[in-house]
Amino acid sequence: MADVMDELPEAGEGKRGVDGHLGYLLRQAAHAHRQRVEQRLSGLSLTLPQFSALTMLDAYPGHSGADLARLALVTPQTMSVIVANLLKAGLVERTPHPIHGRIQTITLTETGAVMLRAAKQCVYALEAEMLTDLAPEVRAAIRQWLTRIARPEAG
């Protein structure tokens, strides 16, 4: 039985390579990307979900935790924990919605904006490394393809 276990392929080999199922390859690539981003962000004491939340808040300020959860691709419960940690770190602040008093809107603090700029430098450098051997038109095609398959009508 030990011989069978020794035969497991590394990432990029066998069914974990070009002959693999597309869904699996997407998941494998996302997992590898997350690990690399987490490693780069660890020096800033920031996680990938926190980075995603800060990035979405920067792009779409003043939304609720539920809206932010949809944008960052996590559950509202998970976003609640993320926001609590970001609040504790002084990276975001909550204020009552001007019309719907029970809704709290979330925005970046100045400290959060500074942190996000530093985090973007780390993450964008990694992305540039990942794309370094690809022509600009291939990069554009990959972005278009990933965006297209993420749309609801693609399914």
Q: What is the pTM of this model?
A: 0.84
Write out pLDDT tens, residues 110-119. Answer: 999 999 999 9
CB 83 within 8 A of CB 107: no
At residue 102, the 3 state secondary structure works out as coil
Mean pLDDT (the chain) is 90
CB 62 within 8 A of CB 105: yes
Write out pLDDT tens, residues 146-155. Answer: 999 988 876 5
pLDDT at res. 4: 58
CB 115 within 8 A of CB 46: yes
Q: Which residues contact 86 (CB under 8 A, 6 or more apart)?
A: 50, 53, 54, 92, 112
User: What average pLDDT does range 24-35 have in this prediction?
Assistant: 93
What is the pLDDT confidence band of residue 71, given thresholds at 50, 70 and 90? very high
Name the residue among 29, 35, 61, 65 with its Cα closest to residue 48: 35
User: What average pLDDT does range 9-34 have in this prediction?
Assistant: 87
Name the residue with higher pLDDT: 8 or 138.
138
